[in-house]
């Protein structure tokens, strides 16, 4: 009678060695492609290992050889288009070079990040890429300082630490958004966001935007909800709240493109023309490839290039610990048709 899946146990190197009539060391050498072993033995051992479904432990190999093909990557969420683009860049560099990424989602939760950092470090990875911009526990910060790696910090270029930093200045991005609003002559502005207590980078963009406007004498209100996510629906909900208050600004800067799209839905439904009545600015550029007639004014971040650079920084440190591969990217202003640009 065949075993049920719950009764089976994975084949071990001892099982393969016994079935092939060789030592465990011979099996190990065959599967690693090393040693002076006859072709007949290599073929027999490989065939038996495949038939038994034996898969060598990468972790065990890393512990014994002090090398690993694993690179840990911690991001807020794989469903976020920004980070899916970053991951595409990371894997484009790692995969052809024999590395692979192990992805962990923090969901902006410091405790979850702490667990993931500890788990990934237990696997003795070749490198670790960690998204900045979220509150970090002291235990996590201590682990990253003492882990004998030089972690690469993604996204947050405003608070460089001992890690290699591959990101952008969010404060500067917020001030750049304020600058185009001032050049357009707007006197009433609003910033709309969510989860700013967790997304510290978005909070810095908000602070830069508001501070630059207020220093120029322009009123800027902030509408944010700590319990809403950073989605199209949230942008629509928050903009509807803004309109119910009766305080309609001339320009609204949203935390990201998704929230900006939701905000425009609310504005259109309420009869406000964009950009003639209200101008709209997004951030991150994720809406651009889906644009048809409405092209959002936004700040495009080169997320794939950022991921590629982070991966090269990990590999560069492994081969040359003295290397410094930090990089600060500058988002590109996309002059869409949701913003009332001043006459040339």
pLDDT at 297 over 70: yes
Q: How many angstroms separate the most distant Cα atoms in the chain?
A: 84
Listed residue (79, 80, 77) closest to 257, CA to CA: 80
pLDDT at 6 over 60: no
pLDDT at 292 over 60: yes
What does the CA dihedral 177, 178, 181, 183 come to, rounded to 10 degrees?
A: -110
Q: Would the CA dihedral through 210, 213, 217, 218 be positive or negative?
A: negative
Summarised one tens digit per residue, pLDDT across range 316-335 is 865 555 556 889 999 999 99
Q: Tell me how far apart the alpha carbons of residues 84 and 235 are, in angstroms, rounded to a whole number.
A: 21
Mean pLDDT score, 337-341: 96
Mean pLDDT score, 172-191: 97
**Domains, the chain:** 5-56 (1.10.260.40), 69-169+303-329 (3.40.50.2300), 170-301 (3.40.50.2300)
List CB contacts of 93: < 8 A, sequence separation 6 or more.
Answer: 307, 308, 311, 312, 315
Angle between helices 138-146 and 110-122 (to 10 degrees): 30
Q: Tell me how far apart the alpha carbons of residues 191 and 175 are, in angstroms, rounded to a whole number.
A: 12
Mean pLDDT score, 91-107: 93
State residue 159's pLDDT score: 83
- What letter does residue 4 receive in the DSSP assignment? P
Mean pLDDT score, 299-324: 82
Residue 84 burial by CB count (10 A; 0-12/13-18/19+): exposed, middle or buried? middle
Q: Can you name the residues that pair with 332 across neighbouring β-strands?
A: 300
Percent of the chain with pLDDT over 70: 91
Mean pLDDT score, 66-84: 86
Q: Tell me how far apart the alpha carbons of residues 276 and 257 are, in angstroms, rounded to a whole number.
A: 19
Q: Tell me how far apart the alpha carbons of residues 81 and 231 are, in angstroms, rounded to a whole number.
A: 11
Mean pLDDT score, 180-195: 97
At residue 332, the 3 state secondary structure works out as strand
State residue 63's pLDDT score: 46
């Amino acid at each position: 009678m065949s075993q049920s899946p719950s009764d089976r146990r994975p084949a071990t190197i001892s099982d393969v060695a016994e079935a092939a009539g060789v030592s465990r060391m011979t099996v190990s050498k065959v599967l690693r492609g090393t040693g002076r072993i006859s072709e007949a033995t290599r073929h027999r051992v490989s065939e038996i290992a495949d038939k038994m479904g034996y898969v060598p432990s990468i972790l065990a190999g890393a512990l014994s050889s002090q090398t690993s093909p694993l690179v840990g990557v911690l991001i807020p969420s794989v469903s976020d288009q920004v980070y899916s683009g970053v991951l595409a860049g990371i894997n484009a560099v790692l995969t052809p070079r024999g590395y692979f990424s192990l992805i962990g989602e923090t969901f902006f939760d410091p405790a979850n990040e702490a667990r993931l950092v500890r788990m990934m470090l237990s696997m003795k990875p070749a490198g670790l890429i960690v998204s900045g911009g979220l509150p970090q526990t002291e235990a996590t910060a201590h682990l990253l300082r003492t882990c004998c790696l030089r972690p690469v910090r993604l996204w947050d270029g405003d608070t460089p630490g001992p890690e290699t930093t591959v990101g952008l200045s969010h404060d500067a991005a917020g001030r750049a958004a304020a600058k185009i609003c001032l050049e357009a002559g707007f006197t009433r502005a609003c910033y709309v966001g969510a989860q700013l207590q967790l997304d510290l980078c978005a909070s810095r963009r908000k602070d830069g935007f508001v501070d630059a406007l207020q220093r120029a004498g322009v009123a800027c209100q902030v509408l944010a909800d700590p319990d809403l996510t950073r989605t199209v629906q949230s942008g629509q909900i928050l903009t509807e709240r803004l309109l119910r208050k009766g305080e309609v600004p001339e320009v609204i800067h949203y935390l990201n493109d998704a929230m900006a799209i939701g905000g425009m839905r609310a504005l259109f439904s309420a009869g406000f023309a964009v950009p003639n009545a209200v101008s709209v600015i997004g951030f991150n550029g994720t809406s651009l490839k889906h644009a048809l007639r409405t092209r959002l004014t936004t700040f495009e971040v080169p997320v794939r290039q950022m991921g590629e650079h982070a991966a090269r920084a990990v590999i560069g440190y492994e081969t040359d610990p003295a290397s410094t591969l930090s990089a600060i990217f500058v988002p590109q202003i996309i002059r869409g048709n949701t913003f009332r640009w001043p006459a040339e």
